[in-house]
Structure 1
Amino acid sequence: LVADGMGGHEAGEIASRLALECVGSRITRCLNEFLSDARSTELASLDGMALLREAFEHANATVFQQAQAMRNNMGTTLVGVLVIGARAWFANVGDSRAYLLHGGKLEQVTVDHSLVQQLVDSGHITREEARWHPQRNVIYRAIGLQADVDVDIFERVLMPGDCVLLCSDGLSDLIEDDEIERVILSETDLHAACMRLIGLANDRGGNDNITVVLVAVEAGMSD
C-alpha cells in the first residue's frame, strides 16, 4: 500500500495514516475470518477483487468521517495490491501508481485520476506535455473527499521473476517509465533499486514526498 496525503501537512498525514491502517486491518481481519471458516478449503477461492474494493471503500468512509469531525478537506491518494497465489488485484484512487514488470517490460497498471490524464485521454495534450503541465498535480478523485468513492480495480496473473512497484507521484512526476524499468532490471537488490529511484527523483529537484515499494515475485508465490 502507498498513500499520499493532501489538505495540509498535518491533515494529509492523518488521512494517509488512517487509510493505510483501515485497509491493512480490514484485509487482515477478512483473511483471518476466511481461513478460520471450516468451510473454506482454499485461499485461492477468495474474491480478492471484492475484498480490496470493500477495504478501500471502508478507508474512504473512515477518512471522510474524520475530515467532517475536524472540519477539514483532508484526503489521500491510495494504491495497493493484493496477491493470492498467481493472481494479483491492483486498486487505486488518485494519482499514486502501480506498475508491473513482466517479461522485462514495465507496464503502468493503474490509471491516474488526474486532470492531465483526462487531457491525455481526450487527445488535448501528449504524455510528455502532461509531465510539465501547470495543473499536473490536480486530481479529481481521492480517499476521504466525499462520502462515497469509485475504486478502480485491475487484475493480473503473476509469474516468477515479475516485480510489482507502487509509488507516489513524487517519483512518477520526475522519472520516466523507461528509466524506472532500467533501474529495476539493473539491480538485484530491491532496497537498492528503491534508493536509486528516490535518489534520481531528488537529484531532479524532488520537492514532494517520494514513496516507493518494490515486491519481487519468487518461485512458489504464484503456485
Structure 2
Amino acid sequence: MTQIGERTATFRVSSPVDAGESYLVSWAALTDVGKRRAVNEDSVVAHPPIFAVADGMGGHAAGDVASDAVVTRLGAVGDEPFTTGDVIDEALSLALTDIDLVGDETTLGTGTTVTGVALSLVDGHPKWAVFNIGDSRVYQLLNGTLERLTVDHSVVQELVDAGLITAEQAETHPDSNIITRAVGFHEKPVPDYSLLDIVAGQRILVCSDGLTKELTDHGIAHYLRREGSAWQTASSLVEAALTNGGRDNVTVLVIDVAAE
C-alpha cells in the first residue's frame, strides 16, 4: 500500500479568469487491509490536482507494486493547480512501463484499477475531470442525491448492460471480481473521462471495491449524507465496510467542496 499526499487537508481552487469563482476543497484519504487479506494492495494519491485510488491485482506483492506505480506517477503530476487528460494518460503510460517490469517476472502478470478526479480547466473555469479504469468507483453526493459517476469495466457490468442479469444479481455473481480493463498486463491504459462541475456543497467519494462489496449504494449514501468532516465520513465508511465483513482491502477518499 502506498499513500501519496496528506491524509487530510484543505486548499483553495480559483478560476484564473473569474476572481469570484473560488472554492475551498477539503479531503480525507483512508485505507485498511481488511479482515481477510494479508497484504493491502490498494494505494491512494491525494495530491492536488489529482485525487485517485488504485486497487492492485496479481497476487503476492505484485498488486501492491502495480497500484504503487500508478499513484506514484499520478502524484508526480502534482504542484500544478490544474491538469489535463493528456497529462494523466502520459502518467498512466509511464506507470504501465513500471508495472510491466514486474509483470514480466510473474506467471500471470499484474495490473491495477485506477479511478479518481482531477482539477482541470475548461475555458478558464475549474472543472473535475473524472477518470476510470476498472471497477473502483467515483460517486457524487449533491443536494442529498447520490450519483455514481463511473461505469465499472467488469464482466458483470457488461451482463447488466446487456440485460442478462440485474444489478442485485451482479453483487453475488461468481464473476464479480473479473474486470475487463486495467493498467497493466502489457495493454495500453484507456481511461474513460467525463467532466463534472465544481459546486459548493458537493461531496465526492473515490473508493476501491473493498467498500462497494460491503455497502450498497443506499448504504454509501447514508454515510455520505451525515453531517461531519471529510475525515469523519471516511472513517465511518471504512468502519462500516469492516463491520460488514471486510473481505477485501478498503480505501476511500472523501472530497468536500465549499464556497469560499
Q: Write the distance in 2 (CA, Å) between the matches of 1:22 and 1:55.
A: 5
CA deviation map 1:123-156 (0-9, x unaligned): 0001111011111111111111124121111111
Matched, 1:7 2:58: yes
Matched, 1:186 2:226: yes
Are 1:166 and 1:213, in contact at CA under 8 Å, matched by a contact in 2? yes
In the alignment, what sits opposite 2:30?
Answer: none
**Between structures 1 and 2, the one with greater helix share:** 1
Distance apart, 1:70 and its partner CA: 5.5
Q: Write the distance in 2 (CA, Å) between the matches of 1:178 and 1:106.
A: 8
Q: Which letter does structure 2 place at the counterpart of 1:5?
A: G
Q: Write the distance in 2 (CA, Å) between the matches of 1:106 and 1:136.
A: 23
Are 2:183 and 2:189, in contact at CA under 8 Å, matched by a contact in 1? yes
CA deviation map 1:91-134 (0-9, x unaligned): 11111111111222111111111100000000000111101111
Distance apart, 1:177 and its partner CA: 1.1
Please tell me the root mean square deviation across aligned C-alpha atoms, in Å. 1.9
In the alignment, what sits opposite 2:15?
Answer: none
In the alignment, what sits opposite 2:18?
Answer: none
Q: Write the distance in 1 (CA, Å) between the matches of 2:194 and 2:237.
A: 25
Pick one of 168, 173, 197 that aligns with 1:133.
173
In the alignment, what sits opposite 2:88?
Answer: 52
Q: Greater CA deviation, 14-23 or 68-77? A: 68-77
Q: Write the distance in 1 (CA, Å) between the matches of 2:86 and 2:146.
A: 26
Instruction: Report SS of the residue matched to 1:150.
Output: coil
- The TM-score with structure 1 as length reference comes to 0.85
In the alignment, what sits opposite 2:101?
Answer: 65
Instruction: Report SS of the residue matched to 1:9.
Output: coil
CA deviation map 1:16-70 (0-9, x unaligned): 1111101111x237x3xxxxxxxxxxx67x6x23222332233223312332255
Instruction: Report SS of the residue matched to 1:138.
Output: coil
In the alignment, what sits opposite 2:44?
Answer: none
Query: Unaligned 5+ residue runs, structure 2?
Result: 1-51
- The TM-score with structure 2 as length reference comes to 0.73
Pick one of 145, 155, 162 that aligns with 2:202.
162
Matched, 1:28 2:71: no
Instruction: Report SS of the residue matched to 2:250.
Output: coil
Q: Which letter does structure 2 place at the counterpart of 1:195?
A: S
Q: Write the distance in 1 (CA, Å) between the matches of 2:165 and 2:171.
A: 10
Query: Unaligned 5+ residue runs, structure 1?
Result: 32-42
**Between structures 1 and 2, the one with greater strand share:** 2
Distance apart, 1:164 and its partner CA: 1.1
Quote the sequence identity (%): 36
Q: Write the distance in 2 (CA, Å) between the matches of 1:9 and 1:199.
A: 25
Q: Write the distance in 1 (CA, Å) between the matches of 2:174 and 2:187.
A: 29
In the alignment, what sits opposite 2:249?
Answer: 209
Count of aligned residue pairs for this structure pair: 205
